[in-house]
Amino acid sequence: MKKKCSRRLFLLTAVALSPALFTSHARPQTRRIASIGYLTTRALEFEKRWLGAFREGMRELGYSEGRNLLIVERHAAGQPAKVPALAAELVQLKVDVIVASESISSVEAKKATSTIPIVSLSQDPVALGLVESLARPGGNVTGMSDYHAGMASKRLELLKEVAPAALRFAVFINPAIRPNLLQLEDLQAVARAMGVTVLPFDIQTADDIDRAFAAMPGMGAQALVLLPGGAISSHQKRIAELAMKARLPAIFTVSTWAEVGGLMAYGTDFTTYYRRAATHVDKILRGAKPGDLPIEQPTKFDLVVNLKTAKAIGITIPQSVLARADRVIK
């Protein structure tokens, strides 16, 4: 009898300590706190919505800050030169995963570490040299790409519909972001076919914004198209206000631009985009290799029109554009 009890006790102990119980598909494991480094070039005031969407995605997967999740935020406040040091800080803290929220922070995170998994939310991770391919990234980077061939030219076409008399279109571009150069080439080709001229402005700092608006009247710019990245994305309200003051019809990249006074915005539905990034983080925390996780691309895009701004600059938005808008700000 004593021998049977000992054997039963041994079996119960073995089951209780079985690794299978700790590697099951229960969502998520709660015996340790997962630390996520969140790195962005943008200022917190413009990043908080997307960071909130990421947090929501993590909550939907069973993570709770303070219980089994720690998010360590590093914001460069629109100053790309600060990003390398911030990336190095996250590496020194030995976070489990780095979420790099746009192209510049993705590149700098990759430079800072080849071992910590990185979930990149960037324009084109292949063109940026972050991954080998979208299907098989390889290395320590996976994530989301919001680069779509023809997106920039679609913005130009929409703006031309709204401002049919415009023939010279200023384009704000950060040439340090390689996918922007590819978009500019596409934009120039479409502009030639439309019989209009593109005037590129190099925007990498806040001072570049003021210089560009000062130069545009002398160059005959009649409308403004933005490409995403760096200082451009970090100074939304200022750029929108300057465009309104100059009475320039302008089209931007994300819905938040229209919310702060931009005339129109067309681009990725970033709320869904950032929420989906949590799925990659979860898979990595459960043992998946980032290089084996395909890069996802968004399928939903938003067109937002601000009628208050249209009225302020004397533009009438055609009904054909309003009918396609996902949201109209009145």
pLDDT, one tens digit per residue, over 153-203 is 899 999 999 999 999 999 999 888 888 888 899 899 999 999 999 999 999
pLDDT at residue 183, as a whole number: 87
Query: How far is 306 from 323, CA to CA, in rounded Å?
Result: 14
Query: How far is 263 from 260, CA to CA, in rounded Å?
Result: 9
Query: How far is 277 from 120, CA to CA, in rounded Å?
Result: 8
Under 8 Å CB-to-CB from 139, ≥6 apart: which residues? 114, 130, 131, 132, 290, 291
pLDDT at residue 9, as a whole number: 39
Could you tell me the residue ranges of all domains in the chain?
A: 8-146+270-292, 151-268+301-329
Is residue 287 over pLDDT 60? Answer: yes
pLDDT at residue 230, as a whole number: 64
Query: How far is 138 from 77, CA to CA, in rounded Å?
Result: 31
| % helix, strand, coil for the chain, step of 5 | 45, 20, 35
Instruction: Find tokens 């030219």 and name the residue.
Output: 153
Fold matches, 8-146+270-292 and 151-268+301-329? yes
Strand 264-268 to strand 301-306: parallel, antiparallel, or no bridges (unpaired)? antiparallel
Radius of gyration of the chain (CA): 24
Query: How far is 262 from 244, CA to CA, in rounded Å?
Result: 8
CB 205 within 8 A of CB 145: no
Q: Give the CA distances from residue 319 to residues 29, 192, 303, in Å, rounded to whole numbers and listed in that order.
A: 52, 26, 14
Is residue 310 over pLDDT 90? Answer: yes
Range scoring the smallest mean pLDDT among 28-42, 101-115, 122-136: 28-42
Beta bridge partners, 319, equal none
Query: How far is 229 from 183, CA to CA, in rounded Å?
Result: 12
Q: What average pLDDT is seen over the chain?
A: 88
Range scoring the smallest mean pLDDT among 114-118, 144-148, 248-252, 321-325: 144-148
pLDDT at residue 176, as a whole number: 82
pLDDT in tens, 249-285: 999 988 989 999 999 999 988 888 899 999 999 999 9
Overall average pLDDT of the 296-303 stretch: 88
Taking phi first (over 0 means left), then psi (-120 to 50 degrees means alpha), and beta for anything else, what does residue 5 get? alpha
pLDDT at residue 78, as a whole number: 80
Confidence band for 10, pLDDT divided at 50, 70 and 90: very low
What would the CATH number be for the domain defined by 151-268+301-329? 3.40.50.2300
pLDDT at residue 231, as a whole number: 66
Angle at 149 between CA 144 and CA 152, to 5 degrees: 100
pLDDT at residue 312, as a whole number: 96
Is residue 13 over pLDDT 70? Answer: no
pLDDT at residue 20, as a whole number: 35
Of the options 3.40.50.2300, 3.20.130.10, 3.40.50.920, 3.30.70.2170, the CATH number for the domain spanning 8-146+270-292:
3.40.50.2300
Is residue 17 over pLDDT 60? Answer: no
pLDDT at residue 3, as a whole number: 44
pLDDT higher at 20 or 92: 92
Query: How far is 251 from 266, CA to CA, in rounded Å?
Result: 7
Range scoring the smallest mean pLDDT among 3-17, 130-144, 166-180, 257-271: 3-17
Query: How far is 72 from 90, CA to CA, in rounded Å?
Result: 8
Per-residue DSSP letter, 70? E
Nearest CA to 119 out of 141, 135, 104, 136 is that of 141
Structure tokens at 267: 């681009």
Confidence band for 151, pLDDT divided at 50, 70 and 90: confident
Query: How far is 35 from 98, CA to CA, in rounded Å?
Result: 9
pLDDT at residue 31, as a whole number: 53
Overall average pLDDT of the 26-40 stretch: 76
pLDDT at residue 228, as a whole number: 80
pLDDT higher at 309 or 23: 309
Angle at 80 between CA 304 and CA 228, to 5 degrees: 25
pLDDT at residue 33, as a whole number: 94
